[in-house]
Structure 1
């Protein structure tokens, strides 16, 4: 193996160790609490090496979010290969909606992602290919841009993430359905089809949670 190849393999190993360590810390204690110092201590990688690859904690977090999104799309594609593009889109979003309700640490991580313009820009790009089949099958008069539609959809998801921090406990099931209704209407679906897909989302809660668990523990699978 050439020297340059050995260095590339070495750097890949360092990057992987940084990401896996950060992933474990983020999932255990959330985004805010986790520090670069903790990642250094747990990974054995120096802070200089970490900053040589990632500009700061936000960029490291963004790299993990990209991994999660890619893995989520892959798992949805495999599990729902025989379903419609609309059902796959619902599944992709439902994984986040249901898990946000279940897990406060994931909720905090999603809040951090949704309030980072850099991460949200990446999320919109990532979602575009998944939504395009749904988008292209319909005519749109009010919203001309798929990226704009996805941005509005993510705004709806953000409102769902935020509602768990209100002092008053709300009807999360009702809000979740309304969030999905808003997203599907933004994508151009009519009311009848939208309601049918919301029912599909609610009936398959266990599947969405299972897929989300697989995404969040994908590194465990790779280690086996």
Structure 2
């Protein structure tokens, strides 16, 4: 039996509408009026669940970051943990060159204090696992503080699109050099991790990740995109 809009739980209707609109037209262009009309909820009902549009973004980003780490592990199985970090961050940066709406979702998330705190708390655990051999004695809190800085580097590189003077390969090399050095990875290992990423077909990997991510988001939140979002060419 088909579900009517009214039979779908309110939170799910809001998520369906917001995630679909964020992916189709971008976070900033999605208005509260569109959200309320699309999900058929009142403003008070929306605020009781999410308080603001940022609340929906936070839930979406939590899923996306967990998804990325899983993908990176698949790409770098049985390889040094530093390679996991290099692959995960390279994929994330490349995704933002393929789709402007994904770029906006990521960069806005790094700008919102509460969402950034959630991102950093989640990634700090991964960073401690990966980099504690290079920074013995540092606690989870120490890695949390370090990640405040390295996530700022990530946001800055995301905001600056690639062009002829700043191709993707240079962006990834510069980013990885800065952040791996921040975690005290020896120069020789930094170069090996960068070489690993450079030997990947990172554009192909990122496209595959994006296509699967979009499919999984549609399944998770039970909506259908009218057409595949435009894939840009990562320069």
- TM-score normalized by structure 1? 0.83
CA-CA distance at 1:101 after TM superposition: 1.4
Does the Cα contact within 8 Å between 1:76 and 1:211 map onto a contact in 2? Answer: no
Moved more, 71-80 or 13-22: 71-80
Give the distance between the partners of 1:135 and 1:185, measured in 2 at CA.
11
Write out aligned runs for 1:33-182 (5 A).
33-139=29-135, 145-164=142-161, 170-173=165-168, 174-182=170-178
Paired position in structure 2 for 1:195: 191
Give the distance between the partners of 1:156 and 1:202, measured in 2 at CA.
20
Does the Cα contact within 8 Å between 2:135 and 2:183 map onto a contact in 1? Answer: no
Paired position in structure 1 for 2:18: 22
Give the distance between the partners of 1:82 and 1:194, measured in 2 at CA.
18
Secondary structure at the counterpart of residue 9 of structure 2: helix
Does the Cα contact within 8 Å between 2:176 and 2:194 map onto a contact in 1? Answer: yes
Give the 3 Å change call, closer, same or farther, for CA 220–162 of structure 1 in structure 2.
closer
Does the Cα contact within 8 Å between 2:68 and 2:88 map onto a contact in 1? Answer: yes
Question: Which structure carries more helix by proportion?
Answer: 1
CA RMSD of aligned residues (A): 2.8
Give the distance between the partners of 2:125 and 2:97, measured in 1 at CA.
26
Does the Cα contact within 8 Å between 2:75 and 2:87 map onto a contact in 1? Answer: no
Which structure's relative contact order is higher, taking Cα pairs within 8 Å and 6+ residues apart? 2
Indicate which of 175, 178, 184 corresponds to 2:180.
184
Cα deviation, 1:63-86, whole Å, max 9, x if unaligned, reads 111121122223333444333321
Cα deviation, 1:70-129, whole Å, max 9, x if unaligned, reads 222233334443333212212221121001112222222222112111111111011112
Moved more, 15-24 or 117-126: 15-24
Give the distance between the partners of 1:112 and 1:195, measured in 2 at CA.
31
Secondary structure at the counterpart of residue 164 of structure 1: coil
Q: Which runs of 5+ in 2 are unaligned?
A: 1-5, 224-235
- TM-score normalized by structure 2? 0.79
Give the 3 Å change call, closer, same or farther, for CA 71–175 of structure 1 in structure 2.
closer
Q: Which runs of 5+ in 1 are unaligned?
A: 1-9
| Number of equivalences | 213
